[in-house]
Amino acid sequence: MKSHRNLVPLSEYFSLDEFESPDTGQVMIDGVLFAALDDCRRAIAWRIEVTSGYRTAAHNRAVGGKPHSLHLIGAAADLVISPADRRDAAIAFLRRVPAVLVMDVGDHLHVEVRGLGVPAELVAVPAEA
């Protein structure tokens, strides 16, 4: 359920409520992520639907998100863009932005800020004895 208190324009293309966690209405948005999405929207001249922005830990667990998801710090967003030619244009645009990583997950695009991932010690595979 979207919060009415977050119906605040952030730019010509996005409003604060699009990035909120649906369970609490709390919002965090990384500036690099927002700038990339806003520039992308302007470049492709087509609507970008943000289906998941910031997530509280509880919401992240409820949707099966990764424990160290960048959604938890407002540095990732899931997007739906159609038709396919606009989606392809968005992918091409975002892949030219060095500060973000875009992943085509099939039914949506996942965009996150590079360099904020899980620390290596949390993902390292122990050596076999």
pTM here is: 0.84
Please determine, for residue 86, whether its predicted confidence score (pLDDT) is greater than 90: yes
CATH fold of 4-117, please? Muramoyl-pentapeptide Carboxypeptidase; domain 2 (3.30.1380)
Determine the Cα–Cα distance for residues 104 and 78; give it in Å rounded to an integer. 10
HSE, side-chain direction, 13 A CA sphere, residue 92: 8
Give 23's contacts (C-beta < 8 A, 6+ positions apart).
56, 58, 59, 62
How remote is the C-alpha of 47 from its chain's centroid? 15
**pLDDT tens sequence across 43-70:** 999 999 999 999 999 999 999 999 999 9
